[in-house]
Amino acid sequence: MAGASSSPPLTRPSVEAAHEAIKEHIHCTPVVTSQTLNDLASRPQSPTALLGTVFEGQTPASPRIHLFFKCENCQRIGAFKSRGAFHALSRLTKEQLARGVVTHSSGNHAQALALAAQTQGVKAFIVMPTISTPSKIAATKGYGAEIIFSGSTSQEREAMVEDVIERTGALLIPPYDHPNIILGQGTMALELERQVLELIDGDPSLSVRRKDSTHTDGGPTSNGASNTRVGSSLAQRSGRLDAVIAPLGGGGMLAGIATALSGTGTKVFGAEPSFQGADDGRRGLAANQRVTTVKTSTIADGLRTPVGEINWTVISDKSKVHGVFAVTEEQILSAMKLVIERMKVFVEPSAVVGLAVCLYNEEFRKIVEEEGGEEGWDVGVVLSGGNTTLEAISRMFATEDKEAERAEGKIGEKGERIAENVAG
């Protein structure tokens, strides 16, 4: 792929231009709300939920939070990755496209690039680990891509990509660490702004700022606004979000959202799993140095990648990303259960880490309590994808149930705390 130096600058106008370039190829995914989830997020956690944390013995935070969910699980190929893939191809010349494109990915980016290439009539070569999910392999093949299998390590995948480039002359489209990918992913933030404003215009009670009417519907309301260009003047109008929180893996999405919302007054936060060091973004910010390797088997499999170099320059900028927070595996499962059962929205584990932070991360909740005061915050939460299966979900919760039955002491208490949080 063309070098980063030839790409547009990482600015909001560049994101707006990216949206204009790809809007005919992507879905403007709906934004949904749920009074049930608002109530849960605004309810103090049980003191027992803080046992074993640095907040043990403290009064649980009592923030007021209204949530607006950007449903990228409804995007083409079932995840936000389509945005970056289509934008990356839109930046290539006819001569470059004629060479074909190549990438390495175990899932969502593989499908996204295969679809974008098929749409443009371009040959796509996708290097996938042999351990990739069969359904994702089948979907990638279904979009006409040629799959080349490799080992599971990044070194093995990258070596195979180099072989493909040498053999075919194809151009590399990175999964996340490139300005064109970042700008494409950031387009969801422009839509989210517009859709939230339209929702609040239609029902002011959806916002924490309007207390003169009530909204009692426990199910989701939605807005799938049209694919029109989103102007930057929107940030100056009433109804803007106080914050947006998005999952953090390689960082293309979070960097894109932060770029799109820079200077608007909306704070941007990242969310990660904590299991086996998957919270490399959070740890890197604490150490003021990017963590370059991650080896984790977190259930949030889309977030097992370390933050990319270019993405790190955005995410480590405190004026653009105001913090990254981590949650446990059981908190991710609890949030996933809520989204599926209460909101009736089908999501993968990686998609709900932002919601889990809003519900269970006491550090984030205290920020909302302190900065939002009695009024509270309107928070946009990105549900990044829904590429999982019923069988996989069943296994996740079956494993959790079996472990709870075998466990004693603290694990038993944790299981009870999850039940408390899910109830109501």
Average confidence (pLDDT) over 301-329: 96
Average confidence (pLDDT) over 14-42: 98
Q: What is the pLDDT of residues 119-163, one digit of tens each?
A: 999 999 999 988 787 888 999 999 999 999 998 777 788 899 999
Quote the percentage of the chain above a pLDDT of 90: 75
Q: 55 and 160: one domain?
A: no
CA 406 to chain centre: 33
Quote the percentage of the chain above a pLDDT of 70: 86
Q: What is the pLDDT of residues 182-199, one digit of tens each?
A: 999 999 999 999 999 999
Domain residues for 134?
A: 100-169
The number of distinct structural domains making up the chain is 2
Q: 262 and 160: one domain?
A: no
Average pLDDT for the chain: 88
Q: 223 and 161: one domain?
A: no
Which pairs with CB-CB distance under 8 Å and at least 24 residues apart come from 117-124? 117/89, 117/143, 117/144, 117/145, 118/143, 118/144, 118/145, 119/25, 119/86, 120/89, 122/89, 122/97, 122/98, 123/168, 123/170, 124/100
Q: 55 and 121: one domain?
A: no
- DSSP class of 51: T
322 in a structural domain: yes
Which stretches does DSSP call E strand in 5-145?
A: 31-33, 65-71, 101-104, 124-129
Decide if pLDDT at 3 tops 80: no
87 in a structural domain: no
Active site positions, annotated: 81, 106
Average confidence (pLDDT) over 152-176: 91
b/e map of 244-253 (b: 16 or more CB within 10 Å)? bbbbbbbbbb
Q: 75 and 112: one domain?
A: no
Structure-token match 């880490």, residue found:
353
Decide if pLDDT at 268 tops 50: yes
Is pTM beyond 0.85? Reply is: yes
**End-to-end CA, the chain:** 50
CATH of the domain at 336: 3.40.50.1100
Q: 307 and 345: one domain?
A: yes
- Lowest-confidence region among 49-58, 333-342, 406-415: 406-415
Q: What is the pLDDT of residues 42-66, one digit of tens each?
A: 999 999 999 988 889 999 999 999 9
